[in-house]
A and B are shown apart, each in its own frame.
Chain A
Amino acid sequence: MAVEVRLPNIFRPVAAGRASVRAEGATVGEVFEDLVRQYPELRASLLTPEGELHRHLNVFVNDDDIRYLGKLDAKVNDEDIVTLMPAVAGGA
């Protein structure tokens, strides 16, 4: 499966400034492996050292949050759009 991965501003410098890139895989985890193969510097922003989904990263397949689709096991289909967005959080 080939999908479009939309990158937030802060990830774009490692992808030559591109707002979206292509990656392959049948699950989000596989798409991430392909992304890391292409852009090794992205790994620390996507995954924990143990290989889990980074807790400050939101990932959507089309309009759906992968936390409700099996996280890294979430399935993707050809031409799906995978959107990466850093969590927006803070507090007093």
Chain B
Amino acid sequence: MLSRPLWERMVAHCLDGLPLEACGLLAGRPGAEAGSVEVLEAYPARNAAGSARLYTVEPVDLLRADRDAEARGWSLVGVWHSHTHTEAFPSPTDIAQAPDPDWHYVLVSLRDLEPSLRSYRIVGQDVAEEEVLVRGWCSPAR
């Protein structure tokens, strides 16, 4: 669950990053349903990899986001990044490098004219898509 301004910030950051992949971090708190999360902040980050096919969240941006989230009583709950050429599904690299099974991994595909935002949980090699609810929109965002 997230607000429409945060959804727009995430997508806008991905568009701003073109032609390179863009990334950012999500902070929030557990949602009402088991396993769900309420996203309360989205921190755009620099892509230290400077690549159209890879991303690495700039370490200092990661630290700053973590500190800010902690100061506000939240925690980092996930990461988003763009796929500039492919669909919004985790790549083998995304799966291999997913550090935290409790995180939410959000993909924004810019392959088509309309950006597509989807979210996944990644536990080991298992990938499960989860519903993204945008407050103010009555249907899941895709």
Contacts and interface: CB of A to CB of B under 8 A. Distances in A.
B99 A87 contact: yes
Give the size category of A's interface with B: 10 to 19
Nearest to A10: B100
A58 B66 CA distance: 13
Chief secondary structure at chain A's binding surface = mixed
A8 interface: yes
A91 B102 contact: no
Interface in B17-64: 21, 23, 25, 49, 51, 53-57, 59-60, 62-63
Contacts of A92: 21, 53-54, 83-86, 91, 93
A80 interface: no
Contacts, number: 76
Interface in A1-38: 8-10
A40 B49 CA distance: 32
16 contacts: A10-B100, A10-B101, A58-B62, A63-B60, A88-B23, A88-B25, A89-B57, A89-B97, A90-B93, A91-B49, A91-B55, A91-B94, A92-B83, A92-B84, A92-B86, A92-B91
Interface of A: 8-10, 56, 58, 60, 63, 65, 67, 83, 85-92
